Structure 1
């Protein structure tokens, strides 16, 4: 298998980029009159199809919202998740350790993250995993800066950094497509961050051949919708159709591909296949360490403590402060 073409210039430095290219503008997506969030506009049939497609575990009790609900109306013990996290951003539950660490580092709640922010998190996750580089918050920060816009958090490309992806166009009405899951489905220390405080610029060096050893191996991998087997072979999905099998990426010749970045090449025609393995062998053991998974005892404890506590008051307070600040 040939090595990918190098996107860097001859000196190995980053091409100059604007802080945010025109095609990376956040979609405000509108809202309800008075500055509130719009109500649900997604069919129950579409919700059920999504839950089946992404293999949503029954433990998370994914719940279709009530008529007239908005994204702030999660019942006590539940949180809101945006459907485009899953349909466009390749998110699956349980979340990976990296997703949890990003939420914890920036001290915001997953419900306060726009889909565009999730796109960048997940794209970085599979880009670095495909290249065999360390998937860390520190490395993520070399490419992205936290931002806040219209009451939601996202990430802009850091000035001077290599562009890893182009966000999809046509992601509209995302605030009207949501559902609820039990709070512990996203096992991370999350808080509802005040969207009015603003976000300070972070002082961190962008990645170059002079600052990090993996830079010369890196090439941009555009955002792409991945199926469950592709997420599985990238170790970005925990639920497995067969626990006595492990996924491998094969070329049409039948050869197992070592470089997972190959699946993103435009001319790659191979596929992910399952091969037998023991329950306590290799992949099935190693993959678990990539995810934040609460034990059943922890889950029950969290559920009991949160059953009488609703996040909607925290969210509504943040929303009211946002609207008051914009008047």
Structure 2
């Protein structure tokens, strides 16, 4: 097994037809000797601000890299995460079941995803949640095809499919902004995929009114940066920012309208209203939507083999 943080030097299968997304290339590492990853260029203040903003739990042991580190230099027992996953990508820990299932289906390690890949995963998830549609890898594949470019994996819109979002432009420098978390914080059976052999084009029917019965209910929602309360109501974040605070959506509140106007002024999607008096245990109700490592896994010592290479601390759904 390759070093957990390294998106290179990995194993994979020979593709029948490589799929490459050249629209997402960026040149922040063109001058790196040997074609490796660029070194850290991110302030400790920026790291601390991000951890506070996303309410990073102490359990995940989020760690700022050392000077001169690259994204391939996570210490034993830790993995690399890119800061842009948590900003425009709306990622939070623990990851949702859907994020874990995408990684497992495509045999990817999360550190091998570019931010563009995470943008599409999370946009799909909140779009389908808003419309109360099945959030499955099969449905995700109806819209997206796995791609690989410049050493990282992403997803491109499948030809002929309905456009769910417009990818952002000018996402540069993201390989220089990263941090480390304990490996089991991303609770999925991840593996490393060879970035040098391309990806086979999948043959799957796109979503149309003829192929899926829910197509007429679907309305695209463009990529948006959501705050913690919004992610919590969407069941895409396990813990809201202040556990003593009331939910952002409550009955007889204008907040229910305000949240979705963030997406579209005339949005007609659905969001469950939460009666505060009856839903004090909302976090417990949505627990099954997340991959949460057990306390024993979080407290376990980091496994290290004779060569000094660490292995993730056990995976599976709980």
Considering the TM-score relative to the shorter chain, is it more than 0.5? yes
Q: How far did residue 241 of structure 1 move?
A: 3.4
Question: What pairs up with 1:161-176 in 2 under 5 angstroms?
Answer: 161-176=161-176
On the 8 A contact 1:247/1:272 being kept in 2, the answer is: no
Change (3 A) 1:63 1:199: same
In structure 1, what is the Cα distance between the partners aligned to 2:191 and 2:258? Answer: 38
Change (3 A) 1:274 1:217: closer
Question: What pairs up with 1:145-156 in 2 under 5 angstroms?
Answer: 145-156=145-156
* Secondary structure in structure 2 of the residue aligned to 1:304: coil
Provide structure 1 residue ranges, at least 5 long, that are not aligned to the other structure. 1-18, 312-327
Question: Over the residues paired in the alignment, what is the CA RMSD in angstroms?
Answer: 2.9
Pick from 23, 26, 29: which aligns with 1:25? 23
On the 8 A contact 1:131/1:261 being kept in 2, the answer is: no
In structure 1, what is the Cα distance between the partners aligned to 2:138 and 2:182? Answer: 29
- Aligned counterpart, 1:305: 303
Alignment TM-score, normalising by the size of structure 1: 0.80
Residue 292 (structure 1) aligned with residue 286 (structure 2): no
Change (3 A) 1:261 1:219: farther
Provide structure 2 residue ranges, at least 5 long, that are not aligned to the other structure. 1-18, 312-318
Q: How far did residue 287 of structure 1 move?
A: 1.1
Q: How far did residue 161 of structure 1 move?
A: 0.3
In structure 1, what is the Cα distance between the partners aligned to 2:259 and 2:224? Answer: 14
Between Structure 1 and Structure 2, the one with more helix by share is: 1
* Secondary structure in structure 1 of the residue aligned to 2:167: coil
Deviations 1:61-120 (A, max 9, x none): 110000000000000000000000011100001000000000000001000000000000
On the 8 A contact 2:147/2:154 being kept in 1, the answer is: yes
On the 8 A contact 2:64/2:179 being kept in 1, the answer is: yes
Deviates more, 1:253-262 or 1:173-182: 253-262
Between the two proteins, the alignment pairs up a number of residues equal to 286
Q: How far did residue 171 of structure 1 move?
A: 1.2
In structure 1, what is the Cα distance between the partners aligned to 2:141 and 2:148? Answer: 16
In structure 2, what is the Cα distance between the partners aligned to 1:84 and 1:181? Answer: 15
